[in-house]
Chains A and B, each alone.
Chain A
Amino acid sequence: MWSHLWQRIAAFIEDDCGDNFEPMAIDLFQRHFELNESYRRYVKALGIAPNAIQRWQDIPAAPAGAFKEFDLSCCDVAACSHVFHSSGTTQANASKHWMDSDALSLYELSLRCGYDLALRHQAGGLPIWAMMPRPEDAPHSSLSHMLETLAAQRWFWGDWHRLADAIDAVDSPVVIFGTGFAFVSLFEAFPTRCWKLPAGSVLVNTGGFKGRTREEPRDRFYGSMRDRFGVPDKACLSEYGMSEMASQFYSGGELGQFRAPRWLRTRVIDPLTGDDAAQGSAGLLRHYDLANWNSVCAIQTQDLGISCGEGFRLLGRAPEAQVRGCSLAVEELWNRG
Chain B
Amino acid sequence: MEPGVIERAASSLRDVRRDFIAAYRPTGAHDRIIHAIEDAAALWSDPDFAVRRKAQKNSGTFPMAMVQVSLDGLLPSLTTDRLRALIRTEAPDLSRSPSLVGHVIAGNTPLIGWTSVLRALLIGSASLVKAPSSGQGCWLEYLVQTLKIVAPEVAAMISVLFWRGGDERLDRALCGAVDRLAVYGNDRTVRAHEELAKGRVLGYGHRVSTAFVLKGADIRTAAKGLATDVLVYDQGGCLSPHTIFVEGDFACALEFGALLSEAMDESVFGHSAVSSSMVRASKVREARELCRFSDVDRSWEGDALRWTTIASPRIGFRISPTYGVVHVRPFVRERVFESLDIVKGKLQGAAIASRSEEDTFQFGVQLSQFGVFYTCAPGELQAPPFEWRQNGISVLRSLID
Contact = CB atoms under 8 A, between A and B. Distances in A.
Contacts of B234: 324-325
A330 B322 contact: yes
Contact of A327 (B135, B279, B322, B342): B322
Given A70-B293, A282-B278, 18 more contacts: A41-B294, A45-B292, A45-B293, A62-B293, A65-B290, A283-B278, A318-B279, A321-B321, A322-B280, A323-B107, A324-B61, A325-B236, A325-B240, A326-B236, A327-B237, A327-B238, A333-B319, A333-B343
Nearest to A328: B206
Given A41-B294, A45-B292, A282-B278, A326 B108 contact: yes
B331 interface: no
B363 to A, nearest CB: 23
Interface stretch (B17-25, B48-56, B281-289, B365-373): B281-289
Contacts of A282: 278
Interface string B292-323: 11110000000001000000000000011111
Interface centre among A302, A323, A325, A333 (most CB of B within 10 A): A325
B184 interface: yes
Nearest to B277: A322
B204 interface: yes
Nearest to B235: A327
Interface centre among B205, B207, B282 (most CB of A within 10 A): B282
A284 B233 CA distance: 25
A264 to B, nearest CB: 21
B128 to A, nearest CB: 21
Given A41-B292, A66-B293, A328 B282 contact: no
Contacts, number: 130
A63 B290 contact: yes
Contacts of B112: 326
A272 B305 contact: yes
Nearest to B107: A324
Given A271-B281, A324-B135, A66 B206 contact: no
B292 A328 contact: no
Interface string A267-300: 0001110100000001110000000000000001
Given A63-B290, A69-B290, A326-B112, A304 B343 contact: no
Nearest to B106: A323
Nearest to B295: A41
The 7 closest A-B pairs by CB, nearest first: A325-B236, A45-B292, A326-B238, A328-B206, A271-B282, A271-B281, A325-B237
B214 to A, nearest CB: 25
A42 interface: yes
A300 B286 contact: yes
A319 B61 contact: no
A169 interface: no
B294 A328 contact: no
Contacts of A332: 186-187, 206
A334 B186 CA distance: 15
Contacts of B278: 270-272, 282-284, 304, 318
Interface centre among A69, A284, A319 (most CB of B within 10 A): A284
A41 B281 CA distance: 23
A255 interface: no
Given A63-B289, A332-B187, A333-B346, A327 B275 contact: no
A41 B293 contact: yes
B233 A328 contact: no
A45 B293 CA distance: 8
B292 to A, nearest CB: 4
Nearest to B348: A326
A96 to B, nearest CB: 14
5 contacts: A38-B293, A63-B286, A321-B283, A325-B234, A325-B240
Contacts of A330: 319-322
Interface string A164-200: 0000000000000000000000000000000000000
Contact of A323 (B186, B282, B285, B305): B186
Interface in B121-153: 135
Contacts of A318: 278-279, 282-283
A326 B105 CA distance: 10
Interface residues of B, number: 48
A329 B295 contact: no
B97 interface: no
Contacts of B346: 328, 333
B319 A334 contact: yes
A330 to B, nearest CB: 5
Given A330-B322, A333-B343, A302 B282 contact: yes
B184 A326 contact: yes
B381 to A, nearest CB: 12
A46 interface: yes
Interface in A69-105: 69-70
A329 B186 contact: yes
B250 to A, nearest CB: 18
B57 to A, nearest CB: 21
A336 interface: yes
A66 B294 CA distance: 10
Contacts of A320: 283
Contacts of B237: 325-327
Interface string B365-395: 0000000000000000000000000000000
Given A326-B108, A327-B238, A321 B319 contact: no
B293 A323 contact: no
Interface in A297-325: 300, 302, 304, 318-325
A66 B280 contact: no
B208 interface: yes
Contacts of A45: 292-293
Interface in A21-50: 38-39, 41-42, 45-46
Contacts of A69: 290, 293
Nearest to B205: A328
A32 B174 CA distance: 58
A332 B343 CA distance: 10
A324 B274 CA distance: 13
